[in-house]
Amino acid sequence: MKVLVPVKRVIDYNVKVRVKPDQTGVDLANVKMSMNPFDEIATEEAVRLKEKGVVTEVVVVSIGPAQAQETIRTALAMGADRGILITSDTDVEPLAVAKLLKAVIAEESPSLVIMGKQSIDGDNNAVGQMLAALLDWPQATFASKIEVSGDSASVTREIDGGLQTLSVSLPAVITADLRLNEPRYASLPNIMKAKKKEIAMKTAADYGVDVSAKLKVLKVTEPPKRAGGIKVADAAELVMKLKTEAGVL
Amino acid sequence: MAVLVIADHDNTIVRDTTAKTITAAMSLSPDVDVLVCGSGAQAAADAAGKLAGVRKVLLAESDALGHQLAEAVTDVVFALAPGYDAILTPATSSGKNFSPRIAAKLDVNQITDVIEVVSADTFVRPIYAGNALETVQSSDAKKVITIRPTAFKPVGDGGSAAVEKVGGGTAGAREATFVSEEVVKSDRPELAGAKIVVSGGRALGSAEEFHKVIEPLADKLGAAVGASRAAVDAGYAPNDYQVGQTGKVVAPDLYIAIGISGAIQHLAGMKDSKVIVAINKDADAPIFQVADYGIVGDYKVVVPELMTALG
């Protein structure tokens, strides 16, 4: 059984995000970029399924600039088998990403797609669900546990107030939440091996998908800053301030 | 132009998040209908009809809808979509699950986590964990939008909308089936809608300590309990307590952060609270930069004093 893992190159989660003064976006020049953390978790889960013998091949696909090859190499070093890069120099919106992935799936015929629940740049949390809709596959989002047996998967999902377990027939789309696993660090030998693994280079036009933007970004601004507060000496003063000054008790 | 709001409910009551989403919907159109997808959900539908400004309530029921399965909800909404120009859902974990599926079926992009409606086609939404705000204009004829509930005030009561039954909600029942649910029952208010939230962080050091320190204070204040990602990852608190970029976004009147350093990802989930209190022994912790009132000190000393001071 084959698994497809879509991964995205995003600003590293430790980097402080700065809005450009001309309000056209976020400054990405000379900023450290990494694999989207949720996609690392998805990759890890796919590789673990391969190690368990449930999965035979893990294919990684990314849509982005040429440098996204590095992101694919990271996944290959973690244990994925081969990669596909669909190059695009502009941001591709979630619906167009889902359409491209659908086209890749038509060629690759995986039994399962495991992907991060959201990317930490656009924070849309949409591509997995959109892909499932376009394929008419079942979806299991925000997974904290995945067990594949035969032609179905039991997926425990993080929901408001607790956990929900679904059984989905395969093929299906599963999106990874934070607590699904802890991704491994690639070993040096595996990083070296990953350099020899194949990455197929494609463009959106190869798949006949229109990736032009439907949502026009008018401006990107800094959120309002909270004015700094005061330090109080002790609990008694705090309670007094909350009652009289803030009026919240 | 008419707007459909997909209700967040538990089959008996409609949650506050629904009333807040209706406020956002009203800024698009005076014609707002509410869809209740559930099972045995007549009470929730009746409750939705009492919300001010609602034109009518649509009730769809099936077993799959009782668990809000995305395939089933999409089935219902897709059939209703031709009658609406916009479909709004509160950005809860359930809404985030099914709304993009609806958008893709309608061949439109979703406008996610909207915090401000600028005009009928222009919206403000946070990106990069709330470290930037994006103003987007949609050219799609039909808009599928999730609303961040904490950014809107709820509509009040006073409505008297009729409830109309609609069909659908069985599609996908074969491919995705509900197995089980473990939902923590609690007498405390729900985290997302609570007026006061008491949150604990990694400094608590253990689940026992979290239980012993955070929960009694929350109960004294009638507050919901939250936690930082670090505390959840360490196993001190269950995952649904997590406040932050990847957990819940809260904006209570009072947020008390205990032993939380204030990582960017946590601040993204609580910085819109009206009043923030931080208790931390590290005077340089970033949490103090957003706190209205800070106490530099060990929670082991400060929290018992706070319990006493509250009487």
What are the tens digits of pLDDT across the range B36-60?
999 999 999 999 999 999 999 999 9
Is residue A16 very low, low, confident or very high in pLDDT (cuts 50, 70, 90)? confident
Average pLDDT, chain B: 95
What is the distance between the alpha carbons of residues B260 and B204, in angstroms, rounded to a whole number? 9
Question: Considering chain A, what percentage of its residues have pLDDT values greater than 90?
Answer: 91
* For residues B2-9, average pLDDT: 98
Angle between helices A94-108 and A127-135 (to 10 degrees): 50
What is the distance between the alpha carbons of residues B146 and A124, in angstroms, rounded to a whole number? 10
Contact A154 B179 (CB under 8 A): yes
Question: Considering chain A, what percentage of its residues have pLDDT values greater than 70?
Answer: 100
Whether the bond between B126 and the residue before it is cis, its omega within 30 degrees of 0, is no
Q: Which of A126-140, A172-186, B181-195, B274-288 has the lowest mean pLDDT?
A: B181-195
What are the tens digits of pLDDT across the range A45-86?
999 999 999 999 999 999 999 999 999 999 999 999 999 999
Q: Which of A48-52, A158-162, A242-246, B127-131 has the highest mean pLDDT?
A: A48-52
Angle (nearest 5°) at CA B21 between B252 and B6: 130
Q: Which of chain B's residues have a Cβ under 8 Å away from the Cβ of A165?
A: 178-181
Q: How far, in whole angstroms, is CA A227 from its chain's centroid? A: 33
Choose among A24, A222, A248, A211: nearest CA to A99. Answer: A211
Choose among B97, B240, B253: nearest Cβ to A162: B240
Instruction: Encode burial over A212-245: b for 16+ CB neighbours within 10 A, e otherwise.
Output: eebbeebebeebeeeeebeebeebeebbebbeee
Residue A141 parent element (H or E):
strand A139-149
pLDDT value for A224 = 87
pLDDT value for A161 = 80
Is residue B21 very low, low, confident or very high in pLDDT (cuts 50, 70, 90)? very high
Question: Considering chain B, what percentage of its residues have pLDDT values greater than 70?
Answer: 99
pLDDT value for B186 = 81
Average pLDDT, chain A: 95
pLDDT at B66 > cutoff 70: yes
Please tell me the distance in Å from A144's CA to the nearest CA on chain B: 10
Measure Cα distances from A68 to A34, A58, A95, A194 in Å.
9, 18, 20, 14
Handedness of CA A225, A227, A228, A229 (dihedral sign): negative
Question: How many contacts, defined by CB atoms under 8 Å, are there between A and B?
Answer: 253
Angle between helices A127-135 and B70-80 (to 10 degrees): 70
φ and ψ at residue A59, rounded to 5 degrees: -110, 130
Helix/strand/coil (H/E/C) assignment for every residue in B152-166: CCCCCECCCCEEEEC
Contact B253 A248 (CB under 8 A): yes
What are the residue ranges of helices labelled H in chain A? 37-51, 68-78, 94-108, 127-135, 188-194, 235-244
Q: pTM of the prediction?
A: 0.93
pLDDT at A1 > cutoff 80: yes
pLDDT value for A200 = 98
pLDDT value for B173 = 64
ipTM (interface predicted TM): 0.95
pLDDT at B174 > cutoff 80: no
What is the distance between the alpha carbons of residues B293 and A242, in angstroms, rounded to a whole number? 9
In the block, tokens 């159109």 appear at B29
Residue B104 parent element (H or E):
helix B93-105
Measure Cα distances from A191 to A41, A77, A187, A188, A194 in Å.
18, 5, 6, 5, 5
What is the distance between the alpha carbons of residues B44 and B64, in angstroms, rounded to a whole number? 17
What is the DSSP secondary-structure string of A8-47?
-EEE-TTSPP-B-TTSSSB--TT--EEE-HHHHHHHHHHH
Contact B97 A129 (CB under 8 A): yes
Angle between helices A127-135 and B93-105 (to 10 degrees): 50
- Report whether B67 contacts A92 (CB < 8 A): no
Determine the residue of chain B that is closest to A95 in CA distance: B109
Tell whether B69 lies on the interface with A, counting CB pairs under 8 A.
yes
* For residues A198-213, average pLDDT: 95
* For residues A82-102, average pLDDT: 96
Choose among B194, B240, B219: nearest CA to B93. Answer: B240
- Report whether B178 contacts B64 (CB < 8 A): yes
Choose among A138, A160, A214: nearest Cβ to B92: A160
Contact A220 B126 (CB under 8 A): no
Angle (nearest 5°) at CA B19 between B14 and B23: 160
What is the distance between the alpha carbons of residues A199 and A66, in angstroms, rounded to a whole number? 11
* For residues B212-221, average pLDDT: 96
pLDDT at B64 > cutoff 90: yes
Q: Across-strand partners of B227?
A: B200, B242
- Report whether A111 contacts A171 (CB < 8 A): yes
B271 is written with which tokens?
């910085």
Choose among B136, B184, B276: nearest Cβ to A215: B136
Q: Which of chain B's residues have a Cβ under 8 Å away from the Cβ of A168?
A: 175-177
Q: Residue type at B33? A: D
Question: Which residues are CB-neighbours of B165 under 8 A, at least 6 positions away?
Answer: B58, B59, B60, B61
Measure Cα distances from B230 to B69, B131, B211, B249 in Å.
30, 20, 16, 16
Q: Which of chain A's residues have a Cβ under 8 Å away from the Cβ of B94?
A: 159-160
pLDDT value for B264 = 85
What are the tens digits of pLDDT across the range B84-123?
999 999 999 999 999 999 999 999 999 999 999 999 999 9
- Report whether B152 contacts B23 (CB < 8 A): yes
A64 is written with which tokens?
């982005």
Question: Which residues are CB-neighbours of B215 under 8 A, at least 6 positions away?
Answer: B225
Q: How are the residues of chain A apportioned to helix, strand and coil, as percentages rounded to the nearest 5? A: 30, 30, 40
pLDDT at A162 > cutoff 90: no
Choose among A108, A4, A106: nearest CA to A58. Answer: A4
Residue B124 parent element (H or E):
strand B122-127
